[in-house]
């Protein structure tokens, strides 16, 4: 696999995507183009979640320390591949073209959707995040993490192209 144009595109998810988390108040999508013979959604998601740069691991550990006293879920990123999860998140649905993961918590529900589209010479991987907040804590949490989210998701997408191929 080779990287064709290593440019991350940021755009709003289309309306059909919102059906994956009805009532979502927030959604964004990032996309990268790659040349890959047989890359499917699970493989793309595994590369995103198991090849995290160290600084993302550090931020996730800090996040977990801060939110644990609030009773929020504190998943840890793991390099272990399990059929019913991707990184720290349970898989909700999966096809070769789309993997949907996420969970519901007391402050918000979220989904991360990894889509793989296009032909071998024009393959694209898109990561979409949807969030539905439940209360003031959810809204404050979302506002707090948003600047980090906009840096972390593109960094995770940069892990999809396998430069060793």
Q: What pLDDT digit, counting tens, does each position of 49-67 carry?
A: 887 777 777 777 777 777 6
Share of the chain above pLDDT 70, in %: 80
Contact 142, 148 (CB under 8 A): no
Q: Which residues of 12-50 are buried (b: 16+ CB within 10 A; e: fewer)?
A: ebeeebeebbeebebbbbbbbbbbbeebbbbbbbbbbbe
Straight-line distance from the first to the last Cα atom of the chain, in angstroms, rounded to the nearest whole number? 5
Residue 154 has pLDDT above 70, yes or no: yes
Residue 99 has pLDDT above 60, yes or no: yes
The pLDDT, as a whole number, for residue 76 is 56
Q: Which residue has the higher pLDDT, 82 or 149?
A: 149
The pLDDT, as a whole number, for residue 8 is 63
β-sheet bridge partners, residue 124: 33, 117
Q: What mean pLDDT is predicted for residues 2-17? A: 61
Residue 143 has pLDDT above 90, yes or no: yes
Report, at the CATH architecture level, how domain 9-157 is classified. 2-Layer Sandwich (3.30)
């Amino acid at each position: 696999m080779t990287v064709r144009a290593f440019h991350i595109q940021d755009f709003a998810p289309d309306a059909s995507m919102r059906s994956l988390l009805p009532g979502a108040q927030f959604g964004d999508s990032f996309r990268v183009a790659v040349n890959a013979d047989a890359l499917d959604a699970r493989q793309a998601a595994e590369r995103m979640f198991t090849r995290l740069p160290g600084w993302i691991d550090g931020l996730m550990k800090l996040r977990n320390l801060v939110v644990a006293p609030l009773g929020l879920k504190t998943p840890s990123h793991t390099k272990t591949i399990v059929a019913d999860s991707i990184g720290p998140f349970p898989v909700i649905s999966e096809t070769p073209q789309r993997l949907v993961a996420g969970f519901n918590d007391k402050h918000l529900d979220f989904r991360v959707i990894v889509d793989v589209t296009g032909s071998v010479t024009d393959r694209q991987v898109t990561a979409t995040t949807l969030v539905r907040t439940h209360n003031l804590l959810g809204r404050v949490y979302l506002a707090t993490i948003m600047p980090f989210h906009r840096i972390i998701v593109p960094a995770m997408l940069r892990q999809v192209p396998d430069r060793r191929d």
